[in-house]
Structure 1
Amino acid sequence: MSSFGEWTLLHGLPAFSYTMDQERDPRALWDPILDPPTRRHVVHLGNRRITLVADNFGRCDLFDEHTGLRWLTRGTGVSRIGELSTAGSTAERLFGPTFAVVRVADERVSLERTVLCPEGEQPWVLIRLRVRNLTGEPVRLALTEEWESRPADVRLISGPVPAADPGLELELLGGERTRSGRLTVTLDLETETITEFRYGLLNEGTAGFEGAVGIEGTAGLEGAGLEGAGFEGAGFEESLAKLVARLPRAHAVQAPEAEREIPWHAALLTGGACADGVLGGHTLDQGSCYSFRHGFNGAARDPLQHALPLVYTEPDLALSVLRNTCAWGSPDGDLPYALRPDKSPWTDLFRPSDQNLWTLWLGVEYLAATGDVQAFGEAVPYHPVHAAEAVPLGENLRRQFRFFADVVGRGEHGHVRMLNADWNDLAISMSGVPREEMIEHGESVLNSAMAAWVLPRYAALAERLGDHATGAEARKLGEELRDLVAGEWNGRWFRRAYGPGAVVGEDDLWLEVQPWAILCGAASPVQARGLLERIEDTAAAGSPLGARVRWPAAQGADGAIWYAINMTLVWAAAAHAPELGWAWWRRMSLAAHAAAYPDVWEGTLSGPDAYLPPESVRPGRTWDLAGVGVAMQAYPVANLHAHAQPLLAYLRLLGVEPEISGALRIGGGASFESRVLTVGAALRGGTPA
């Protein structure tokens, strides 16, 4: 249903065949708002180190976040044989979970170019070129692989600026290596040959891997006569086999698109990870305009919530992200809002009050699913700017709880203080209360409701680590906050916040607090069911992509449809109105966006963190604050919320979640299978396989 192409299978994996002629089709042109209109459409793919940005012109970018936010190349990567080139609008283009394919042909030869991010932490891509002779007679042809190093560091807010040469190299496997970015091979071609290159930061690898030979081991095929080269990392076939084994599988009668989208989301989510050369572990930056255009990794809550579904697919990566994000902080348990492009803390914009809750939540989820108590005894460093001793992960979490309880604290009504933001960065400006008064005295019912779910489960974690005093305190605080949230029911929905002499959310529904009020037990079953139905009739009414964050709402960001909030909404519905939960999950899908907005590229393979509602001036696209030089629309794809939230929401619909006891609950009703968890459609009360 997309104007840009259609889904298919390639190497047994979901892939998208891009068929639009972007040079002639007027639908290809789109406006980034902060930059000139363009016909370029990209998808971000990756391994645990390098990001490949493949586009509809057959070209590639490489991005690396190992020591800072840096573009390695911009709009390069092309193969040529004679007059035939893989760059252009007439080529066949396919985007797979970790690879991009371009196919071109003329009267003499066909050329298939695959650029693959090999499994693991390799800071380079593997390029496989398959050339076929179409003439029936032997031919001699020159095959050229070209890349151009165009390094650019991403400066905070202002975008990319030229940077020093990072040392990119191009290597013909079994042959020449060059830093010029151009290599040519002479082919004496009878039928078919395969030639492989790799491009990237090759000096970071070590010898020890025998690369694929340029000869296909099948009768009748002729190779380029290349020997295998030694390097570390998986080769082409091995990487694809590992990818197939790594990605989860799903099947749901209630949502047929899950079979394709669950493995796709898992691949693009993990493709956003990067081994952190400064803080250790892996970062899981939310990407999109934040990293690639505006130059920061934030907020701290984002990598934590992106890692939650990884607990059930790649738990080692989830733990690595938890450790990495804890290392952003200071010894008193505070987490900065974000990291600057050089990975230094950025604290002078927002001072949110919810971030510790996300850290505790990820710790709870990891322990409930894996039982890996030992991980909480391993030391985690603090950010180097603090020159502080590393402490065990469990102690780091305890200090974060103390910061939340003692420094964030509670306000006049007993709710968690807001500081200058909670989950919603603009909650204060949208509250109608003077800014300084709200910062000093504002209280977040949202944070209270979230804490009322997180803290009793953190109590179980603390007690399992032998810290019974902290466990008792966390449990008591969670119960008190749950009772306070219950008192915020106004007969229609739960109030949102308090300011000096002001109640926020009495006359309008703020969506973000409603699911957490249900999840933490503040709503009775009757209230929960009625509230979910009211949301369907109000905030979600007439919206093909999900529920608006506020109702009634002004057009624009005030009424945007946020992946993170619709995830909790699906989760809340799972126990009280599962038919709504499945319907809302389907609205989160890529299929739903393609059906509603077939001419909009964002939402086809990836997306932003939020979409504008149907009544806005740009429905199906995303928000902008162009007046202050910030816009999601400037880079509206590759936000990891678009992949993490559908994954986690799907698992919640299957009843997969930590209980107050610290144990993992699993329900059923649809199927999910990864290397660490199997849930059957008819399973009830099962355990991880």
Structure 2
Amino acid sequence: MSAFGEWTTAYGLPAFAYTMDQERDPRAEWDPVLDPLTRRHFLHVGNRRITLVTDNYGLSDLFDEHTGLLWLTRGTGVTRAGTLSTDISGSERIFGPTFSIVRVADDRVTLERTVLCPEGEWPWVLIRLRVRNLLDEPVRLELTEEWTPAAARVELITGAKPAEDPGLELELIGGARTGSGHLNVPLDLAAGEERLLELRYGLLDGGTAAPPSSGVPASGGWTDGKANGWAGEAAGVFDRSLAALRDRLPKAVAARAPEAAREVPWHAALLTGASCADGVLGGHTLDQGSCYSFRHGFNGAARDPLQHALPLVYIEPDLALSVLRNTCAWGGPDGDLPYALGPDKQPWTDLFRPSDQNLWALWLAAEYLSATDDLAAFADAVPYHPVHGATPVPLGENLRRQFRFLTDVVGRGEHGHLRILNADWNDMAITESGVDREVMISHGESVLNSAMAAWVLPRYATLAERLGDHATAAEARKLGEELRDLVAGEWNGRWYRRAYGPGAVVGEDDMWLEVQPWAILSGAAAPERAVDLLHTIERTSAADSPLGARLRWPDRGAYGPGGVGTIWYAINMTLIWAAAEHVPELGWQWWRQMSLAAHTAAYPDVWEGTLSGPDAYLAPETERPGRTWDLAEVGVAMQAYPVANLHSHSQPLLAYLRLLGVEPFRPAKAPDDAGFESRVLRIGS
């Protein structure tokens, strides 16, 4: 049972009733490491444009990534009715998948306030106020809606910098409109009467038509974001948005993981709600979020939006394609993808130069084609980042150039494995390898990259063949086979080695978890060896850990983002996937450990993991088990913003689909006791 409240339903959707009195309960206080102690607990929800950050004080932040990382408001959004106010800790508070609800009452009236991100690409929130007179006589009161703009652009690492007000407005639908963020509405309520009022706040003239995939009819008041587009239609927006949300969220059922019925649609809502129409590069961002963008000011790494979009191929494939196109547009005509985009959407290459990012683009593209058979998408032009001044090319050509960059620039090292550059998936791999940094960057090789490529490249080869590029297909398939055979030779009798440097082997004496599932998935491990390895992981990295397997084993006491003592969503996803075929009972066990329910059961007093989470948790043997990592000495900490990381939502979804046998270019066969249904896929029970 969570210390913060319990799951419930609201508007026919999964929701969480927050019941803690944070002012009195000592368990409410937590340490962001880089900031003062706080009792604020918050959640990110959204549509395809705006992000609503709702908290346990009944307040709201609005965030917009359309042209850069921009906070529109900070800690505002209050309704007052006489002596009542929705920002008091004694109120009833509910966190929903795209909305928040606050209920307050006195001896005269009840007030319910719902703040909703409407379906579509609307850069504002819709506020529904429900006021009811409890008395047997009329009541006169003045309803006041207050929002305070506080525009701030997120700066790289250093924090937020005040920005010019982008033009926020508050509108009573069917009534007054103001740029001040303050509206007074007099109300006369008859005995027992209930009244509904609807307002909207944000960039009221900056919206676009709701995309067809949203399920909201693009007609009448939904034709544009201008005020006159609302004539005669505003009254239905709230209910139509919720109906569309209920329609588009997937459903799941699993006898071996009953929490999937609640968590699969929840994760899908928070994942899709983190997207944002990109006004600079086109398509949609699907930013990793958490401390990276909301506090430290960058969208990265490039692999992350690609990884987050993978389960969307089976839920909202148009959004998955849009994210693929957007992320490909980060790069240049040589096929290189930068590590990240800065807060102004400019390429940021100062910190890391990863060697794996093209593999994620090729993977997402192959997964999309397999699920949709949409060959036409690969003929549509994709721009390169404006800094390159390059001519757009078809998506298929963009991907071919990324393959060429992988083979010709990343290349292979002395042992035949793909080079590591200054990082692969693990940003700290060079530091943790024990090999001289410059030597490793120049000559290091990543067995992880080779194992992943051994799985990805044959799937990309199928895509290239479908596009008529038989030469690239043959080259990709041959390289994948060579790398698979090389990875097979990295078995040391207990696990697969991790990397090579000149005269050095990484992962001979300790197991780096990230390479093990890919060795199984790529076929480098024979079935018997795969089963033995999965059971070894169960006895070692996963032992006595309620949230999943640790990234490094054995424990050497140096806890941090490099691996030891950390449990990563991204790697436990591939581990579950690897187990799905060989030891499915372990796969289901590990999926349940990835769930929000498992975190609540193990750490009921920790907010992160209750409704959303970071990219990794600290293991039980660490000083802060169930919380997340920090590098406070360099001013970076996941613990400073430990929720709204999309790995915590995308990876449980993808792992669940893999447990049901959903993979590219393979017929799916779900177990008899589990199923999944979205608008584009139905499988199993």
Task: Give the TM-score range, shorter chain.
Answer: over 0.9
1:615 aligned partner, one-letter code? E
CA contact (8 A) 1:45 1:271 kept: yes
Cross-structure match for 2:100: 100
2:596 aligned to which of 590, 595, 604: 590
Structure 1 234/395 Cα, relative in aligned 2: closer, same or farther at 3 Å? Answer: farther
Cross-structure match for 1:165: 165
SS in 2 for 1:457: helix
Is residue 180 from structure 1 mapped to residue 177 from structure 2 by the alignment? Answer: no
Matches within 5 A, 1:299-314: 299-314=301-316
Q: Deviations along 1:76-132, whole A, 9 cap, x unmatched?
A: 000000010000110000011100000000000000000000000000000000000
TM-score normalized by the length of structure 2: 0.95
Cross-structure match for 1:113: 113
Q: Deviations along 1:507-559, whole A, 9 cap, x unmatched?
A: 10000000000000000111000000000100000000000000013342232
Structure 1 234/386 Cα, relative in aligned 2: closer, same or farther at 3 Å? Answer: farther
Instruction: Tell me how far 1:448 sits from its aligned partner.
Output: 0.1
CA distance in 1, matches of 2:591, 2:602: 15
CA distance in 2, matches of 1:275, 1:339: 15
CA contact (8 A) 1:369 1:664 kept: no
2:684 aligned partner, one-letter code? G
CA distance in 2, matches of 1:206, 1:234: 18
CA distance in 1, matches of 2:31, 2:380: 48
Matches within 5 A, 1:215-254: 229=231, 235-254=237-256
Instruction: Tell me how far 1:271 sits from its aligned partner.
Output: 0.6
Seq. identity, %:
77
CA distance in 2, matches of 1:311, 1:420: 31
CA distance in 2, matches of 1:233, 1:343: 37
Q: Deviations along 1:273-329, whole A, 9 cap, x unmatched?
A: 000000000000010000000000000000000000000000000000000000000
CA distance in 1, matches of 2:197, 2:362: 49
Cross-structure match for 1:649: 655
2:363 aligned to which of 361, 364, 385: 361
CA distance in 1, matches of 2:208, 2:245: 22
How large is the Cα RMSD of the aligned pairs? Answer: 1.4
2:258 aligned partner, one-letter code? P
2:365 aligned partner, one-letter code? G
2:179 aligned partner, one-letter code? R
CA contact (8 A) 1:657 1:666 kept: no
Cross-structure match for 2:77: 77
Instruction: Tell me how far 1:476 sits from its aligned partner.
Output: 0.1
CA distance in 2, matches of 1:112, 1:363: 45
CA distance in 2, matches of 1:460, 1:133: 65
Is residue 674 from structure 1 mapped to residue 678 from structure 2 by the alignment? Answer: yes
SS in 2 for 1:203: coil
CA contact (8 A) 2:173 2:234 kept: no
Cross-structure match for 1:529: 531
Cross-structure match for 1:556: 559
Cross-structure match for 1:444: 446
Q: Deviations along 1:222-246, whole A, 9 cap, x unmatched?
A: xxxxx97467997100000000000
Matches within 5 A, 1:568-583: 568-583=574-589
CA contact (8 A) 2:173 2:200 kept: yes
Corresponding residue pairs, total:
663
Structure 1 597/175 Cα, relative in aligned 2: closer, same or farther at 3 Å? Answer: same
Cross-structure match for 2:497: 495
Is residue 640 from structure 1 mapped to residue 640 from structure 2 by the alignment? Answer: no
Cross-structure match for 2:608: 602
Instruction: Tell me how far 1:666 sits from its aligned partner.
Output: 4.2
Instruction: Tell me how far 1:205 sits from its aligned partner.
Output: 3.5
CA distance in 1, matches of 2:680, 2:493: 43
1:628 aligned to which of 614, 629, 634: 634
Q: Deviations along 1:183-237, whole A, 9 cap, x unmatched?
A: 01111111100000000000113797449xxxxxxxxxxxxxxx97467997100
Cross-structure match for 2:66: 66
1:547 aligned partner, one-letter code? A
Cross-structure match for 1:408: 410
Structure 1 206/538 Cα, relative in aligned 2: closer, same or farther at 3 Å? Answer: closer
CA distance in 1, matches of 2:69, 2:491: 44
CA distance in 2, matches of 1:157, 1:94: 32
Structure 1 576/357 Cα, relative in aligned 2: closer, same or farther at 3 Å? Answer: same
CA distance in 2, matches of 1:231, 1:435: 62
Instruction: Tell me how far 1:667 sits from its aligned partner.
Output: 3.5
SS in 1 for 2:279: coil
CA contact (8 A) 1:86 1:113 kept: yes
Instruction: Tell me how far 1:455 sits from its aligned partner.
Output: 0.2
CA distance in 1, matches of 2:28, 2:119: 32
CA contact (8 A) 1:209 1:233 kept: no
CA contact (8 A) 2:122 2:208 kept: no
CA contact (8 A) 1:119 1:233 kept: no
Instruction: Tell me how far 1:679 sits from its aligned partner.
Output: 0.6
SS in 1 for 2:205: helix
CA distance in 2, matches of 1:26, 1:555: 30
Instruction: Tell me how far 1:159 sits from its aligned partner.
Output: 1.1
CA distance in 1, matches of 2:684, 2:590: 22
Matches within 5 A, 1:23-38: 23-38=23-38
CA distance in 2, matches of 1:75, 1:195: 22
Matches within 5 A, 1:83-162: 83-162=83-162
Instruction: Tell me how far 1:668 sits from its aligned partner.
Output: 3.6
Structure 1 44/186 Cα, relative in aligned 2: closer, same or farther at 3 Å? Answer: same
Matches within 5 A, 1:361-380: 361-380=363-382
Structure 1 210/390 Cα, relative in aligned 2: closer, same or farther at 3 Å? Answer: closer
Q: Deviations along 1:236-270, whole A, 9 cap, x unmatched?
A: 00000000000000000010000000000000000
CA distance in 2, matches of 1:234, 1:489: 61
1:680 aligned partner, one-letter code? G
1:154 aligned partner, one-letter code? V
Instruction: Tell me how far 1:161 sits from its aligned partner.
Output: 1.3
Cross-structure match for 1:687: none
SS in 1 for 2:149: coil
CA contact (8 A) 1:120 1:234 kept: no
CA contact (8 A) 2:277 2:285 kept: yes
Cross-structure match for 1:467: 469
Matches within 5 A, 1:34-45: 34-45=34-45
Range 354-363 or range 230-239, more displaced: 230-239
Is residue 19 from structure 1 mapped to residue 25 from structure 2 by the alignment? Answer: no
1:392 aligned partner, one-letter code? P
